[in-house]
Amino acid sequence: MPARRKARDFAKYVANVYLYQFTEVPSYAPAFGLGAFHSSEIDFVFGTFAIERPAWQMPKSSTLSDAMLGYWSRFAKAGDPNGGDVSWPKYDMAGDASLTLASPVAATTGLKMQKCDFWDSL
């Protein structure tokens, strides 16, 4: 919800705002009782899972990492992450457009919209 609030704030003044939710559970996370957690996307963004690790720490697939490397690189270079297989929609307050980063990657709308609307109304 804080990410959505920040996206809404920026969208009032900036045209190119992008929101995502990372839901891929790293292969090592269940061993620690974890799912997808804050910062678990970092190895996928930078491709660092490929650095020598024990087999139990390796992610399920490098496909998601390749996609994320592309999104982040294009965004850093041109301010637009698009150019990959799945188009990352610009955030808009009406539809809460976002990208779900998982296997497979998917463009979505209304990410936790009802819950966020409730908390924003308080």
pLDDT digits (tens, 9 = 90+) for 25-76: 887 788 899 999 999 899 888 887 655 555 555 555 678 888 999 999 999 9
Contacts of 11 (CB under 8 A, 6+ apart): 17, 91, 92, 93
CA pair distance 56, 34, nearest whole angstrom: 14
CB distance 1 to 116 below 8 Å: yes
Predicted TM-score (pTM) of the model is 0.82
